[in-house]
Amino acid sequence: MLKDIPSKISSSPGKYAVMLNARAKRWTGTLHAEISRWVPAQDLFLTEDFRQAERTVDRLIREGYQTIFTAGGDGTIMYLLNAIENRIRSGQVERSEAPKVGVLKMGTGNAIASYLGSGDIISDLRRLRAGAPLITYEVGMIEGIEGLYPFAGFGLDALILNDYDAIKEMVQGRALENYVTGLSGYALAVGTRSIPTALRQKEVPVEFVNNKEAFQIDANGNVLREFKAGETIFEGRVKIFGVGSIGNWGFDLQMFPQCHFKPGFFQLRTFDGSILWILKNLNRFWKGELQEGHHWDFICNDVTCTILEGSLPYQVAGDAQGYQRGAHWKSPEFPVQLAVAYQD
């Protein structure tokens, strides 16, 4: 679906920096040595904590880097993106002069890197050092109280992330810690906590109110209904719902196939089907196919969701946010500039 969003190819990567979290789980001396082969020392910046990362962003903007590459899970990409966006909105740098966010693939999740077609981190850095072209995409985002992000969701996916975080906290500092991160940790969370909980969980009543423009669409992208500002676009009991301005969640789960239906909009998807159906049809679910007659799709640019009874686990860009009673999602005024090394 990248063909549906504006992009441009630069003949060379220009002046770029690589900013990495030295405390990331995958960060090792071996990886550091490999990266150092392809990134000049003066352009490689390692951060140890949030304050150092904030100072580094200010320095890179001040020194005129055109692109700042970073790597990690989706949360790492979104930290840098929001750090730059905050400086644009505060007047520290003009939007036209702000650096692009370069995306490298490392960590778990990697929905953004996979969506943009990033390769292996070392391969991409090698290509950039050799002067490979840079392809920049103008990617629409969703704005909430947490900042800008490409997807968010309530229900099973967020339950898994919350359970994954809980398991990591249980084994932190113990010998088992290295065995419950990444895919193995997700598998453990799903098998021992999330699925048993989800099977017991009943549908929750929710309401979505359109604040600006919204459309209901079918699986083929045909408009079924247009809503006015202030109208309730959906009210009912569901198990999973979320929004996305890119097509996939982490691990290439294709959840929002109509996210580019209209520029400046995002997709809202709800599901009230059986968790057993998902387990029996996992391959279809991974490709974005949901149980017929049990999901509803909308295209929105400003919507408020309210959980009418209790709360549900919530995730933003693959980071667990605990349990929430609702959210307000809207499209920001401008898309963001995300860049990757051009793939031959």
* 74 and 152 part of one domain: no
Residue 194 has pLDDT above 60, yes or no: no
Compare 31 and 108 and report the one with higher pLDDT. 31
Residues 201, 146, 287, 269, CA torsion sign: positive
Judgement on whether residues 16 and 129 belong to the same structural domain of the protein: yes
Same domain, 136 and 10: yes
Question: Do 261 and 322 belong to one domain?
Answer: yes
- Domain CATH code at residue 94: 3.40.50.10330
Q: What is the mean pLDDT of the chain?
A: 85
- Residues 27 and 81 grouped into a single domain: yes
Same domain, 172 and 137: no
Enter the DSSP assignment of 342.
Answer: P
Residues 71 and 12 in one domain: yes
On the question of pLDDT at 323 being above 80, the answer is yes
* pLDDT tens profile 109-168: 688 998 998 888 999 999 999 999 999 999 999 999 999 999 998 976 666 665 655 555
DSSP 8-state code for residue 1: -
* C-alpha distances in Å from residue 13, one per residue of 36, 58, 137, 339: 18, 21, 14, 9
How would residue 169 be classed by pLDDT, with cut points 50, 70 and 90? low
Check if the beta carbon of residue 254 is closer than 8 Å to that of residue 288. yes
263 shares a domain with 183: no
The pLDDT of residue 234: 96
The arithmetic mean of pLDDT across residues 63-84, rounded, is 93
Helix (H) or strand (E) holding 268: strand 266-271
For 87, other C-beta atoms within 10 Å of its C-beta total 17
Structure tokens given for 12: 């060379």
Q: Are 70 and 136 in contact (CB under 8 A)?
A: no
Question: Please, are residues 70 and 77 in contact by the beta-carbon 8 Å criterion?
Answer: yes
Instruction: Based on the fold, state whether residues 230 and 253 are members of the same structural domain.
Output: yes
34 three-state secondary structure: helix
Domain that holds residue 226: 148-156+195-330
Please state the pTM of the whole predicted model: 0.86
* 30/118 same-domain check: yes
Please give the residue that has the higher pLDDT: either 187 or 115.
Answer: 115
Of the two residues 165 and 12, the one the predictor is more confident about is: 12
Q: Supply the CATH number for residue 204's domain.
A: 2.60.200.40
Q: What is the mean pLDDT of residues 257-279?
A: 86
Residues 38 and 131 occupy one common structural domain: yes
Could you tell me if 310 and 182 lie in one domain?
A: no
Q: What total number of domains does the chain contain?
A: 3
- Confidence band (pLDDT; 50, 70, 90) for 182? low
DSSP H helices in 190-294? 195-200, 275-280, 282-286
